[in-house]
Chains A and B, each alone.
Chain A
């Protein structure tokens, strides 16, 4: 395992654990994560996507890092989980449910922060972006890891980009 892959794996785990907790608590479903793959291109697979740009310092190596976290849902999955979260039936994507993805991803970061801190990562949110369909600002040869996830409402995809060398 290369040092980059090792560091990436360490960085990713708190987000996966936090996503499981957030979905179980607020969306009333458990998550089953599939095998991570290196994504080809930057286009998200789902129709509704939310991104967080995160920066910080990895204290053990004293390196600044930049990262992006994304969750992307097929519209059908998004509407079903919105209905579960809001406890009312949502049948179309509109203002009623458009900020749910952003709220979920911010909760995931908030939840992951404790573990990230324990692993030596300080973290700051630079920006959150709703409904963009790709990891804007990254060069197309950037390594983005895609983790397919299944829940009772359908499929979704978590994407993570991490670097301690490049500018976003």
Chain B
């Protein structure tokens, strides 16, 4: 079941290229309330501010490999915050190593997507998440 089109989404990626590509794909899928963040640390600030403003993010899409705070560290941090304990979190990785997947599942990831991916694959991954 796809989430509603006006869901509040945060994209976290240190690479401008991927931020643009993911944002473009999400727009093609009909999502419009999209915020982008350059790394986990900045994303954490965005998440806290949104929560304090009473409009927390409803879906987080994050790259795994980033400077400052990587995707796994961000995931662990948000899962320890009451406002984001159950917020759907889609992790993007460049490789599907089983050990990595297990660590992220244990930390509470909602789904995984391995680069490269198409808009269709992104849509399928999102639709498999329970919103």
Contact = CB atoms under 8 A, between A and B. Distances in A.
A21 B16 CA distance: 22
Contacts of A97: 17
A109 B93 CA distance: 12
A113 B93 CA distance: 13
Given A86-B17, A86-B24, A87-B24, A110 B117 contact: no
A166 B37 CA distance: 41
Contacts, number: 47
Nearest to B24: A87
A104 B101 CA distance: 22
A99 B94 CA distance: 15
A42 interface: no
Among A95, A110, A113, the one with the most B-chain Cβ atoms within 10 Å of its Cβ is A110
A113 to B, nearest CB: 5
Contacts of B15: 99, 102-103
Contacts of A95: 16
B116 A22 contact: yes
B20 A86 contact: yes
B94 A25 contact: no
B7 interface: no
B115 interface: yes
Interface string A78-98: 000000011100000001110
A118 to B, nearest CB: 13
B129 interface: no
B28 to A, nearest CB: 8
A120 to B, nearest CB: 16
Contacts of B51: none
Contacts of B24: 86-87
A109 B94 contact: yes
B113 to A, nearest CB: 12
A96 B115 contact: no
Contacts of A87: 21, 24
Contact of A26 (B21, B95, B96, B97): B21
A107 interface: yes
Contacts of A114: 95-96
A26 B24 CA distance: 12
Contacts of B103: none
A134 interface: no
Nearest to A27: B116
Contact of B95 (A21, A25, A103, A110): A110
A96 B116 contact: no
Which are the 8 A-B pairs with shortest beta-carbon distances? A110-B94, A25-B116, A110-B95, A26-B116, A103-B17, A22-B116, A107-B115, A100-B17
10 contacts: A25-B116, A26-B117, A86-B20, A87-B21, A100-B17, A103-B15, A111-B94, A113-B95, A113-B97, A114-B96
